[in-house]
């Protein structure tokens, strides 16, 4: 997947993002491009800089799409899901989301990721 690293560095906008990362002007927001192009930009920057990224999506379906795009581009991408709240007593409760969240936190702790994607609700 080296072509993801080599296509974008010729663009002046990409070089500007690259310079901001070098100067530690973070976080960075990118607007005006489609989701797959954002994923391509982030993948290229992560590969060229040997860095990791945290990506905030507007909602969970968009976050899932980002994870799929990153994975297709060769990144180890994980979704940090929204916490599942239960406000009443119930007989059985699934712990699937809790386990997924703990798995992502473990990957962050051990550095076993390239990109973590979460929606605004999960970040809260």
pLDDT in tens, the chain (124 residues): 566 677 888 889 999 999 999 999 988 888 889 999 999 999 999 998 899 999 999 999 999 999 999 999 999 999 999 876 555 666 656 677 788 889 999 999 999 999 999 998 887 7
Helix (H) or strand (E) holding 120: helix 120-123
pLDDT digits (tens, 9 = 90+) for 67-90: 999 999 999 999 999 876 555 666
Give, in order, the Cα–Cα distances in Å from 44 to each of 52, 74, 78, 110: 11, 11, 17, 22
What integer pLDDT is reported at residue 9 of this predicted model?
A: 87
pLDDT value, residue 88 = 62
Residue 66 burial by CB count (10 A; 0-12/13-18/19+): exposed, middle or buried? buried
Give pLDDT, residue 89: 65
């Amino acid at each position: 997947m080296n072509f993801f690293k080599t296509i974008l560095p010729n663009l002046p906008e990409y070089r500007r993002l690259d310079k901001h990362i070098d100067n530690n002007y973070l976080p960075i927001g990118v607007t005006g491009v489609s989701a797959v192009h954002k994923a391509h930009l982030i993948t290229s920057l992560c590969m060229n800089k040997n860095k990791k990224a945290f990506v905030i999506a507007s909602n969970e379906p968009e976050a899932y799409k980002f994870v799929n795009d990153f994975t297709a581009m060769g990144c180890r991408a994980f979704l940090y899901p929204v916490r599942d709240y239960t406000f009443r007593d119930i007989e059985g409760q699934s712990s699937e989301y809790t386990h997924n969240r703990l798995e992502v936190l473990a990957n962050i702790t051990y550095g076993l990721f390239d990109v973590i994607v979460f929606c605004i609700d999960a970040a809260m």
